[in-house]
């Protein structure tokens, strides 16, 4: 084992790549990684069983939502089975399985109900489940929750409102609170710097200082809920400690025995006390994470800037003789823990939107709260662990400040990207910080941002900002604009407002007004629904543990769901931006400027899916006025659309008194929504995937520098919920500095985020045919990473045909 020990920083004197540390030199990581890929995920009933039991038998109907939640999580964590399932150096598991699927019964767990008998045999992403478990879900668990989910509570409270029925048509938007609200970064710094006992004491003191007003009664319930639930975490840790001790007793291997004894000792101390070693800190963070995942889904529940939070203890241990190899191993253990559960996806959504991991984002590097270079040795240790493990979760995000961070750091990021093919992604500190400041986040807090979920910048441990609460299919607003408030899928039934018929529209400006009317209406529906869902959470699902680990809540005495956090935004992701801009630009160019075709004829062409209109289609498609090209017309339309969406969303208030921000990232939804959408004036045919994130339509951006300049030109303060620019490079055997230079230039021009797949097309083609040969081939989808084999066919196709440039020559690669 490599055992380079140094007293202070290695970055000044050593190989930043840590090449001598490999999976062969770390057999534990290799073993755990193999185990991870060799394990079929299993559905775990522990959480729904405990939740159902508590709600049926122990809940006091008089309890406020906060108090009920506090008591319930105390119960759940006290009764959660302590599991040490393999020789990972961190104790505890999210589920009772090696790789588990958590069912959150108040969320969308029931969507798997009709498929319980088949889910273990389905072709894509099967999940294991036993007969007894199926019966328990059928008869004990699901029936209880039928009318108690967020979806059904919101429906009942609001009289089955139009906005909710609109979402259920799938093609317009998805309000994601029905399956998660967890897009946030918990304040792990508090876990590491204070320990939970300190927070419990704070809650107790605050509780004791309260009076008798009704406001104070609510606060009292909140502070009690914090104490109850955090005490639950301490019980869970104590159970882990006891388990490790008893396992140690039975263990014959002296090395493993010693590990278990140490683990027992660690769990008896953290997270109650403040950790004093690097290993304790990692355990503390992990145990808290396990607890948080009982309360809220792991989807986009992001650990944040661990290289900052953990650095002081890392440094301390390095000074006391910890080797770099040990550090990489410990970090690797956390990475493999983070992927110990996968999200639930029923077959239909698997088909449309499947393949997603949980998007648990780690953020590395960038600048600190004072604006100084924050890249440290631990950043490089974490990069090495990422490079060696190549797992889709955690989703590794690298921050880079073009004026402050070192060039060597950017080069190392590029190297890791080349070696993993898909990670990390790159965030521009300068633009992200400005975007957050535009949302009222203080400069210091903006500098301490982490990426949440896919790409969304949020101040770490201070923002409760469900950054992916709305996923909106932008082209569906075009449909409504073309057909006077109707959608081709729903035929004659009017849906949106009846706007002017295109044949009567006499100018492009007039068309934009029509489109704006439909967009504003659609946004209104989506926001109303999200707010309905938010209020349903307030009624049935506060999050006391999340609140204890969020700045603001303890001061205000309020749960995050009530607006307790310091910052309270909601983020909406727009799908299909480049497609809509190309459609607008085609209409402007060919209908109004050149008068090459009438609006009616253009609509006839798309109604016939361009059949019989191939020449017109070719004319539109070969136009150089496109999003991502050197087109002033497309730039102007993109500016207008992004500005309009930003202003309209900013004008809305969420249920916590915060504002809505807009982002352009799409996960796999661009493929799913594409399947459901008809032909469009951009030349696109029915059913084709939309371009991902803020990426140009494939083939429309032949010049990489033009594409980057186009995207960098967009006003990033209008994109406060982040964007994913997804590009592809043909791999090269050399690590040319020109890759890093390309990113550097993009950031200097103001670009916000960019990410690259660097994988050979032949590999993709072969993986499509022989998925069994590529269990761990992972790719960037639109913000997060996924295993290629898990993606649905249209998503695989979208990645294969995505804009690609050659890493050596810089040329666009077309096939």
Partner 1 sequence: MVSLGKEPSFSQPQPLIFDIKRHALQDGPGIRTTVFFKGCQLHCMWCQNPESIDPAPEIGFYPKSCMKSGECVTVCKTGACQTENPWRIDREKCDRCADCVEVCPGRGLRQIGRFCPVEELVSILLRDRVFYEVSGGGVTLSGGEPTLYMDYASSLLKALKKQRIHTAIETNGFFNWSEFEEKLLPWVELIMFDVKLMDSKMHLKYTGQKNHIILENLAKLIRQRPDDVIPRTPLIPDITATTENLKAISELYQSLGIKRCALLPYNPTGFSKVENIGKKVSPVLSKHMMKPEEERKCREIFSWVELVEF
Which residues contact partner 1 by CB under 8 A?
A: 614-615, 618-619, 622, 630, 703-706, 709, 736-738, 741-742, 744-745, 748-749, 805, 808-811
Cα separation, 609 vs 578, whole angstroms:
20
3-state class (DSSP) for residue 806: strand
Hunting for tokens 């588990």 — which residue is that? 100
Cα separation, 202 vs 563, whole angstroms:
20
CB of 740 to partner 1, least distance (A): 9
Q: For the sheet containing 726-730, what is the strand order?
A: 361-365, 395-400, 425-428, 753-757, 726-730, 804-806
Contact 687, 674 (CB under 8 A): yes
Contact 278, 319 (CB under 8 A): no
Cα separation, 674 vs 686, whole angstroms:
8
Q: What kind and span of H or E run contains 250?
A: helix 214-250
CB atoms inside a 10 Å sphere around CB 319 = 12
Q: In the beta sheet, which residues pair with residue 396?
A: 362
Nearest to 108 by CA among 384, 330, 297: 297
Q: Given phi > 0 = left and psi -120 to 50 = alpha, else beta, which region is 192?
A: alpha
CB of 705 to partner 1, least distance (A): 5
Cα separation, 61 vs 611, whole angstroms:
62
Burial class (CB in 10 A: 0-12, 13-18, 19+), 538: middle
Hunting for tokens 């057999």 — which residue is that? 27
Cα separation, 449 vs 409, whole angstroms:
19
User: Beta strand pairing status for 173-175 and 470-473?
Assistant: antiparallel
Q: Tell me the DSSP string of 735-771.
A: --HHHHHHHHHHHHTT--EEEEE---HHHHHHHHH-G
The two three-digit tokens of residue 564, written as one number: 């307790």
What count of Cα atoms within 13 Å lies in the side-chain half-sphere of residue 40? 11
Cα first-last separation, the chain: 45
Q: Given phi > 0 = left and psi -120 to 50 = alpha, else beta, which region is 213?
A: beta
Cα separation, 221 vs 550, whole angstroms:
17
Which residue number, 501 or 706, has a Cβ lying nearer to partner 1? Answer: 706
| Beta carbons within 8 Å of 8's beta carbon, 6+ residues apart | 318, 319
CB of 436 to partner 1, least distance (A): 24
Contact 387, 332 (CB under 8 A): no
CB of 752 to partner 1, least distance (A): 16
| Beta carbons within 8 Å of 424's beta carbon, 6+ residues apart | 364, 383, 386, 396, 397, 398, 413, 416, 417
Torsion, Cα of 547, 552, 556, 559 (10° steps): -20
Give the phi and the psi of residue 371 in degrees, each rounded to 5.
Answer: 90, 10
């Amino acid at each position: 084992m490599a055992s380079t020990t140094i007293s202070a920083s290695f970055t000044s004197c050593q190989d930043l790549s840590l090449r001598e540390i490999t999976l062969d030199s770390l057999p534990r990581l290799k073993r755990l990684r193999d185990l991870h890929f060799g394990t079929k995920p299993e559905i775990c009933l522990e959480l729904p069983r405990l939740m159902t039991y508590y709600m049926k038998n122990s809940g006091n109907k008089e309890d406020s939502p906060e108090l009920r939640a506090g008591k319930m999580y105390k119960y759940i964590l006290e009764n959660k089975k302590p599991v040490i399932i393999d020789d990972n150096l961190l104790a505890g598991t999210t589920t009772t399985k090696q790789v588990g699927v958590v069912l959150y019964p108040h969320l969308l767990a029931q969507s798997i109900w009709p498929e319980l008998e088949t889910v273990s045999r389905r072709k894509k992403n099967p999940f294991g489940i036993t007969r007894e478990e199926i019966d328990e879900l059928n008869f004990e668990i699901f029936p209880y929750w039928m009318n108690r989910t967020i979806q059904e509570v919101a429906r009942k409270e609001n009289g089955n409102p139009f906005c909710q029925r609109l979402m259920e048509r799938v093609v317009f938007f998805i309000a994601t609170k029905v399956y998660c609200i967890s897009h946030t970064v918990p304040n792990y710094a508090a876990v590491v710097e204070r320990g939970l006992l300190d927070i419990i004491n704070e809650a107790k003191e605050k509780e004791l200082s309260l009076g008798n007003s009704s406001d104070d009664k609510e606060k009292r319930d909140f502070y009690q809920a914090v104490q109850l639930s955090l005490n639950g975490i301490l019980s869970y840790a104590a159970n882990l400690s006891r388990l490790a001790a008893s396992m140690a007793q039975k263990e014959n291997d002296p090395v493993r025995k010693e590990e278990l004894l140490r683990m027992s000792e660690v769990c008896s101390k953290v997270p109650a006390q403040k950790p004093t070693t690097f290993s304790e800190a990692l355990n503390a963070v992990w145990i808290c994470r396990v607890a948080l995942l009982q309360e809220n889904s792991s989807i986009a529940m992001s650990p944040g800037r661990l290289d900052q939070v953990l650095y002081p203890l890392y440094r301390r241990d390095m000074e006391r003789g910890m080797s770099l190899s040990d550090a990489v191993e410990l970090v690797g253990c956390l990475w493999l823990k983070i992927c110990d559960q996968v999200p639930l996806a029923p077959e239909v959504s698997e088909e449309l939107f499947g393949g997603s991991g949980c998007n648990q984002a780690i953020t590395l590097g960038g600048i600190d709260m004072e604006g100084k270079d924050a890249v440290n040795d631990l950043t490089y240790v974490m990069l090495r662990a990422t490079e060696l493990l190549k797992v889709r979760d955690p989703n590794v995000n690298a921050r880079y400040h073009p004026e402050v961070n070192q060039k060597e750091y950017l080069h190392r990021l590029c190297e890791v990207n080349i070696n993993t093919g898909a990670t990390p992604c790159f965030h521009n500190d300068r633009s992200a910080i400005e975007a957050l400041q535009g949302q009222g986040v203080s400069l210091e807090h903006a500098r301490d941002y982490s990426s949440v979920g896919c790409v969304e910048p949020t101040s770490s441990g201070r923002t409760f900002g469900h950054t992916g609460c709305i996923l909106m299919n932008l082209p569906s607003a075009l449909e409504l604009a073309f057909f006077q408030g109707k959608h081709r899928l729903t035929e004659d039934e009017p849906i949106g407002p009846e706007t002017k018929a295109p044949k009567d529209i006499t100018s492009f400006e007039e068309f934009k007004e029509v489109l704006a009317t439909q967009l504003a209406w659609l946004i209104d529906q989506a926001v109303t629904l999200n707010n309905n869902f938010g209020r349903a959470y307030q009624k049935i699902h506060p999050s006391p543990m999340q609140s204890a680990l969020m700045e603001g809540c303890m001061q205000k005495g309020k749960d995050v769901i009530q607006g307790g956090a310091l910052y309270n935004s909601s983020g909406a992701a727009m799908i299909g931006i480049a497609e809509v801009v190309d459609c607008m630009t085609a209409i402007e160019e060919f209908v109004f400027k050149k008068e090459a075709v009438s609006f009616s004829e253009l609509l006839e062409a798309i109604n016939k899916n361009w059949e019989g209109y191939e020449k017109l289609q070719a004319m539109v498609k070969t136009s150089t006025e496109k999003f991502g090209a050197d087109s002033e017309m497309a730039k102007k339309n993109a500016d207008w659309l992004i500005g309009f969406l930003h202003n309209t969303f900013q004008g809305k208030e969420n249920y916590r008194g915060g504002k809505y921000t807009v982002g352009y990232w799409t996960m796999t939804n661009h493929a799913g929504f594409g399947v459901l959408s008809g032909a469009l004036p951009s030349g696109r045919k029915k059913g084709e995937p939309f371009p991902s994130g803020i990426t140009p339509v494939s083939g429309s951006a032949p010049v990489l520098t033009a594409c980057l300049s186009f995207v960098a030109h967009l006003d990033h303060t209008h994109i406060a919920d982040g964007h994913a620019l997804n590009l592809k490079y043909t791999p090269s055997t050399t690590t040319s500095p020109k890759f890093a230079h390309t990113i550097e230039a993009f950031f200097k021009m103001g670009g916000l985020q960019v990410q690259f797949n660097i994988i050979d097309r032949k590999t993709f083609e072969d993986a499509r045919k022989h998925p069994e040969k590529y269990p761990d081939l992972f790719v960037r989808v639109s913000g997060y990473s996924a295993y290629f084999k898990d993606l649905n066919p249209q998503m695989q196709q979208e990645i294969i045909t995505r804009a690609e440039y050659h890493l050596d020559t810089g040329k666009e690669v077309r096939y």
